[in-house]
Amino acid sequence: MTQIYLARHGETEWNAIRRVQGWTDIPLSARGVAQAEALGDRLGGMALTAVYSSDLGRAMETARPAADRHGLVVTPLQELREKRFGDWEGLTQTELERDYAELWYRYHTERDLNAVVPNGETWPQVLSRMAGALVAILRDHPGPEDAVLVVGHGGSGRVIILQALQAALPTLLRLHLDNASLSRMDFHGKAESRVVLLNDTSHLRHLSGGDA
């Protein structure tokens, strides 16, 4: 069995003001750094055997405290990046409602998974690359005692949970991952899997203000 611990990166300033990030490389805020340290403490007593991260800075920064506690190196994977939002990156919800009113309504209100952001990725494209990354990780860490930390993002991270649930893509809309949250999935190869922990933020309770 391979245990996959999935963490979303800590908070950034753009998270706090609800500005679209996507592939834009935004660092952690001071709160995000504190969240990453708390996550590292949470994982400190677990026998991690490897740490993988999206290659974007906010994810790498979140992964390092846990990796350091285990004497491990963070392996960056571009395939673990957030969904690319193209022309929307850097814009706030107010700006999107103003400049992309019809598309924003389809994407955000109607939750249309086929709505295509200009120069962005589609959800099926994200699913394809995240599935490939998961297959590669499971191949390199087949168990029986492997425990792997994967640090990613709120959107693309949910796709890994879909893989564990063997659920259809629309299930994505019924999942949520908070900043620096921790989830766990157990895999017996790719065919047999289960979600054991989902969006746990108990390690962040001592941090005041903002969303967990």
Active site (annotated) includes residue 176: no
Catalytic residue, chosen from 11, 37, 79, 82, is 82
Active site (annotated) includes residue 110: no
Q: Rounded to the nearest 5 degrees, what angle is found at the Cα of 149, between the Cα atoms of 143 and 153?
A: 135
Q: Which residue has the tokens 């706090």?
A: 16
Measure the CA–CA gap between 65 and 60, rounded to whole angstroms: 10
Distances (CA, A) of 119 to 83, 84, 201: 11, 8, 34
Measure the CA–CA gap between 169 and 128, rounded to whole angstroms: 11
Measure the CA–CA gap between 70 and 64, rounded to whole angstroms: 10
Q: Rounded to the nearest 5 degrees, what angle is found at the Cα of 148, between the Cα atoms of 143 and 151?
A: 155
Measure the CA–CA gap between 19 and 135, rounded to whole angstroms: 31
Interstrand relation of 2-8 and 146-152 (parallel, antiparallel or unpaired): parallel
Question: In 149-195, which residue ranges form alpha helices assigned H by DSSP?
Answer: 154-165
Residues with catalytic function: 9, 82
